Amino acid sequence: MLLDGHSMAYRAFFALPVENFSTATGQHTNAVYGFASMLANTVRDERPTHLAVAFDLSRQTFRSAEYPEYKANRSATPDEFRSQIPLIGELLDAMRVPRITAENFEADDVIATLATAAAAEGFEVLVVTGDRDSLQLVTDDVTVLYPTKGVSELTRYTPEKVAEKYGVRPDQYPDLAALRGDPSDNLPGIPGVGEKTAAKWVNQYGSFAALVEHADEVKGKIGEKLREHLDSVKRNRFLTELVRDVELPLGVAQLERAPFDKDEVARLMEALEFRNPNFRDRVAGIDPAGAEAAAAPEVPTGPAVDGDLLTEPGALADWLERHTGEDARTALAADYSWALGSGEVEQIALATGTAAAWFDPAALAEADDRAFTAWLADPKRPKALHIAKQVMRAFAERGWSFAGVTADTALAAYLEKPGRRAFTLDVLAEEYLGRSLAPATAQAETGQLSFDADEPDPTAGAQALMTRARAVHDLAGLFDTRLAEVGAVELFHDMELPIAELLARMERHGIAADREWLRGLEAQFAAEIQRCVEEAHAAAGREFNLGSPKQLQEILFGDLGLPKTKKIKTGYTTDADALTWLATQTTNELPVILLRHRDQAKLRTTVEGLLKTVSPQGRIHTTFNQMVAATGRLSSQDPNLQNIPVRTEEGRAIRRAFVVGEGYETLLTADYSQIELRIMAHLSEDEALIEAFTSGEDLHTTVASQVFAVAPADVDAEMRRKIKAMSYGLAYGLSAYGLSQQLGIKPAEAQGLMDTYFERFGGVRDYLHNVVEEARAVGYTETLLGRRRYLPDLTSDNRQRREMAERMALNAPIQGSAADIVKIAMLRVDEALRTAGLTSRMLLQVHDEIVLEVAPGERERVEALVREQMAGAYPLRAPLDVSVGAGADWEAAAH
């Protein structure tokens, strides 16, 4: 399989909205994601034994030397695309896929050379390209896969398909193209001669060369046109012929697929913030090592653990008495499930360094149940779990609570390598213990085991579960050392483990939801969507599909003749930025209507998703993720509550659906004001910025007055907007180019704004410079609480990788410190609530905000407690400022 790298990457770039794919540091990634997805799908489906990707080296080739206007009509490559090509190259290198270029030639010529050589050696050849010139390569042995919809649908061009589509044989395709011309390559055809006439001539005379010999015989005006343009079509014929004997650095035999560099693939996935598990699995699924490993694993299966099957009354209590204590840690593994406030625990295994046991919790005698319950809750008996939060949540459904958890092997692996690809027990056992756990009993990422319900022996999975418990025990001991090596022991024991326990409780609590309000919103958004459709049809003067980019282009730029937006592969873009710009260029309401239609559709999708997750008890139970963001930030899923809009009136209406539950008085929300900027002021020790925080004046107005050298009263809304965007941009590692995109100004103006800012706040400039250089020297960045993020690419020779790592080095200490402080605040508030004997409880953590459900009569005490504990979470030079609000629903509790 041979791929045209630039062609397919360019199509991927335009197939996926660029605004939806970028890292926190502003690096666009849509082309990388789309290309990798296409590659994974195609390799999975076709299963080639040999694979390579050809790239254009530059636009200067023998063709441009022959005809300077060759491809001269093509617009400049978008900066957002250009910056992604090296990243695609890095990903291909990590996947061990050869990248081939040839000076003075195009990728098509590289492919033609390799395809011809491979076919001669007896290979079946697939060419994946968006360039129709490659159709000339098609034979019984060579098939072209041509994209017909983005990069997701590929049409197979065999000799029969080429003949059906173009009316000529594949070897005649260059003749057809020469006569027809090729606007995409800026090759003019013969006026009045389209594909049908060109195909008729080629078939009539057999070839272009024969047609030229008999050009005088072609009658009529069309014959005159042919003879008039004969020189240009001869040139076209020379330029469209692909070269099949380019001297290349690799031959066909050297293209045999090789196993991935898994660590490098995982590092790139994290650096590019590709965290979708389905996407990662698809890419990992085409690793040639995968099938081989399944057939003959390189990692040996660990020794089976033969332990005690505790089936008799009193056996569990006796085992716990004999094998567990204060001096030795006991690992626990379980077959469990949980969802929306329910859960089951079907079997449990325990393991120490020398003993193991298995039991069925449903069959426990009363004395054994009491003994196990007491052991779980005993803080003096150390325990090790894998993904402790999930185990705690499931066990809580049986009334079991944990104390004394001193190890979570998944969390420990996350702290050691926050950018790693997976945290399943199987993966960690292979990587750290050199031990493979039996595939037939593999635990899913949720922690659940699968056993045959009809299996006659109910203890058939006991040995497998005890083996897993022993793996947890051994990993826990190994991570004791690893965490000390990366300075994360206190972070692990004082923050991440306690937060896991708190999150498990918060997930079980959930938050009450007003179903009727949500249903009303769904109907409201559906009605508004329909109204937008009717208004759009009226504004356009005809009916059309508002979701079809092609029809939108016809309406906007054809029927209405509106100014052209940015040129893309399929015409002119109709994305949100383009529609917003068009709205300023016309009195026609259609662009505004289209924007509103999209907003309403997104809101309706959000509401529909929320309705599906309301439990029978009327509460929504989100799942919090500790091990997704490398910076330590929490995220949520099923549903993702961080996606609930807050800046529009309609978005805020959705928050009204989250209400105080029965038996409670009010919801209370609290969050930090400008925490990232306060951390930047603290870390930079910039006195002017610290003074701006402590002056009591509006921060952005105060900073703008200094940057623009005007009195605070003279700072207008635009000045304040620019300063606010830049201040947060600096805290997130934003470049001048990224700032220019955000503000809609030229890069030079954005750079000038940053330069002026740094003149006024030199401490910030020095900090941002020093943090990168220090990270380059030691290999990692560190938060205020000691959370490290290792960035080996800071010393990379590759400019793209180095600059991405530098943006991460700017971003990680500030974002990570904010995440750590919020977690400390949550723990302090939770501990204070329990110490005070209050029954109010924490429900949610979203961004920098926490949401609590307040019991009757506790409002004033809870508010005072929350303010005190959050404000004192960390002593910043620019003190933490806490805002608090209360109300019957999430929106009413805003502040």
Whether 524 and 495 map to the same domain: the answer is: no
Residue 400 gets which letter from DSSP?
-
**Alpha carbon distance 109, 101 (integer Å):** 9
Residue 231, H or E segment: helix 230-240
For residue 595, pLDDT over 60 is answered with: yes
Whether 519 and 540 map to the same domain: the answer is: yes
Provide the pLDDT for residue 297.
Answer: 38
**Alpha carbon distance 604, 521 (integer Å):** 8
pLDDT band at 443 (very low <50, low <70, confident <90, very high): very low
Domain boundary among 510, 538, 570: 510
Which residues are 845's β-sheet partners? 850
Is the full-model pTM beyond 0.85? no
Residues 6+ apart with CB under 8 A from 379: 403, 404
By CB atoms closer than 10 A (0-12, 13-18, 19+), residue 6 is: buried
* Section 157-161 average pLDDT: 94
Whether 322 and 386 map to the same domain: the answer is: yes
**Alpha carbon distance 484, 499 (integer Å):** 20
Termini Cα distance of the chain: 58
220: left (phi over 0), alpha (psi -120 to 50) or beta: left
Whether 358 and 475 map to the same domain: the answer is: yes
1 and 43 in contact (C-beta within 8 Å)? yes
Does a structural domain hold residue 840?
Answer: no
87 and 800 in contact (C-beta within 8 Å)? yes
Average pLDDT along the chain: 88
Does a structural domain hold residue 33?
Answer: yes
For residue 298, pLDDT over 80 is answered with: no
pLDDT band at 75 (very low <50, low <70, confident <90, very high): low
Check which CATH number belongs to the domain holding 61 and give it.
3.40.50.1010
Domain boundary among 449, 476, 510: 510
Reading the block at residue 69, the tokens are 């206007």
Are β-strands 882-887 and 666-672 bridged in parallel, bridged antiparallel, or unpaired? Answer: antiparallel
Provide the pLDDT for residue 379.
Answer: 96
For residue 447, pLDDT over 50 is answered with: no
Provide the pLDDT for residue 457.
Answer: 52
Whether 500 and 560 map to the same domain: the answer is: no
Of 504, 511, 386, the closest CA to residue 442 belongs to 386
Provide the pLDDT for residue 460.
Answer: 57
Provide the pLDDT for residue 444.
Answer: 35
Does a structural domain hold residue 127?
Answer: yes
Provide the pLDDT for residue 691.
Answer: 92
For residue 439, pLDDT over 70 is answered with: no
Provide the pLDDT for residue 336.
Answer: 87
Does a structural domain hold residue 294?
Answer: no
Provide the pLDDT for residue 895.
Answer: 80
What residues make up the domain containing 362?
A: 310-510
* Section 219-247 average pLDDT: 82
* Section 251-265 average pLDDT: 92
Whether 499 and 521 map to the same domain: the answer is: no
Residues 6+ apart with CB under 8 A from 361: 345, 346, 347, 348, 369, 372, 398
Residues 6+ apart with CB under 8 A from 312: none
Whether 18 and 152 map to the same domain: the answer is: yes
Whether 688 and 720 map to the same domain: the answer is: yes
More confident: 21 or 507:
507
**Alpha carbon distance 679, 836 (integer Å):** 30
512 and 658 in contact (C-beta within 8 Å)? yes
Q: Which residue has the tokens 């039996």?
A: 438
Dihedrals phi, psi of 639, to nearest 5 degrees: -95, 165
Sign of CA dihedral 751, 756, 761, 762: positive
pLDDT band at 148 (very low <50, low <70, confident <90, very high): confident
Provide the pLDDT for residue 67.
Answer: 79
Q: Which of 455-459, 495-499, 545-549, 795-799 has the lowest mean pLDDT?
A: 455-459
Whether 539 and 494 map to the same domain: the answer is: no
For residue 230, pLDDT over 90 is answered with: no
Whether 482 and 522 map to the same domain: the answer is: no
pLDDT band at 175 (very low <50, low <70, confident <90, very high): confident
Distance of CA 537 to the CA centre of its chain: 36
By CB atoms closer than 10 A (0-12, 13-18, 19+), residue 455 is: exposed
Does a structural domain hold residue 75?
Answer: yes
Does a structural domain hold residue 93?
Answer: yes
- For 177-195, the pLDDT digits (tens) are 888 877 777 777 787 777 7
Provide the pLDDT for residue 72.
Answer: 63
Check which CATH number belongs to the domain holding 529 and give it.
1.20.1060.10
For residue 504, pLDDT over 50 is answered with: yes
Provide the pLDDT for residue 438.
Answer: 58
Whether 479 and 354 map to the same domain: the answer is: yes
For residue 829, pLDDT over 90 is answered with: yes
Residues 6+ apart with CB under 8 A from 67: 187, 235, 239
Does a structural domain hold residue 795?
Answer: yes
By CB atoms closer than 10 A (0-12, 13-18, 19+), residue 228 is: exposed
Does a structural domain hold residue 36?
Answer: yes
- For 750-771, the pLDDT digits (tens) are 899 999 989 989 999 999 999 9
**Alpha carbon distance 581, 744 (integer Å):** 11
Provide the pLDDT for residue 785.
Answer: 94
- Buried residues in 563-596 as b, exposed as e (16+ CB within 10 A): eebeebeebbbbbebbbeebbeeeebebbbbbbb
Number of domains the chain is built from: 4
Dihedrals phi, psi of 390, to nearest 5 degrees: -70, -40
Reading the block at residue 618, the tokens are 């009327």
* C-alpha gyration radius of the chain: 32
For residue 300, pLDDT over 70 is answered with: no
Whether 418 and 547 map to the same domain: the answer is: no
Provide the pLDDT for residue 557.
Answer: 93
Check which CATH number belongs to the domain holding 405 and give it.
3.30.420.10
* Section 214-236 average pLDDT: 77
Q: Which of 265-269, 529-533, 642-646 has the lowest mean pLDDT?
A: 642-646
Of 448, 835, 847, 452, the closest CA to residue 631 belongs to 847
